[in-house]
Amino acid sequence: MNKTISLQDLGLKDYKQTWDYQEQLFKTIVDVKIKNRREDTHIETNNYFLFVEHPHVYTLGKSGDMSNLLLNEKQLNEKGATFYKINRGGDITYHGPGQIVGYPILDLDNFFTDIHKYLRFLEEIIILTLADYGLKGERSDGETGVWLDVGTPFARKICAMGVRASRWVTMHGFALNVNANLGYFDNIIPCGIRGKAVTSLHVELGLEKVDETELKEKLIKYFSELFEAEFFE
């Protein structure tokens, strides 16, 4: 089992270009697995982790409701935003500058074949990272992602998640609001959940800007520990 992960920081990159790149990496892993099964070979599969920030974009998952996007095409253009229907789970979400997005493209046969555990591990990475900043991240029953003040009138989401998996290969991942412009969330019903607020780390800490490089290092540290993996660039 290959527990090494290639770490790539793509910087600010168009959503569709990044999606295509994810699909390309995803396919290379799946193709190796198909070849191994058909030809009874044992070629090692690779694992990847992409950090990226996207220009303003709204994405709708397979089971999502189009009515949760509150803008028409003209209004999207006015806000400099794009929109895509995509092949992950979950409903609608927003990506934009100041939001750290992590896309693990892993062969779970190298780690564990349990999607529920995989999602809980992604949430735990965020929870452990937030704890380093003095915040108590929590899970909310039936709502994938990480929240603050769950069970109170002040519950607010700080990290959204949506993944796709086929043949135990993953893509898509998490989106953590770090220095995000929260106004863009006003144009959707985030994740299809009415009456729940969204927040960002810099708002919670009362800072103008959180050091994103330091935050990424924390995410990788906890990812390495939970998945017992080794990252390389």
Binding site members for substrate:
88-95, 160-162, 173-175
Instruction: Pick out the residues of the known binding site.
Output: 88-95, 160-162, 173-175
Active site residue 191: yes
Annotated catalytic residue, options 176, 191, 220, 229 = 191
HEC string of the chain? Answer: CCCEEEEEEEEECCHHHHHHHHHHHHHHHHHHHHHHHHHCCCCCCCCEEEEEECCCEEEECCCCCHHHECCCHHHHHHCCCEEEECCCCCCEEEECCCEEEEEEECEHHHCCCCHHHHHHHHHHHHHHHHHCCCCCCEEECCEEEEEECCCCCCCEEEEEEEEEEECCEEEEEEEEECCCCHHHHHHECHHHCCCCEECCHHHHHCCCCCCHHHHHHHHHHHHHHHHCCEEEC
User: Which active-site residues does the annotation give?
Assistant: 191
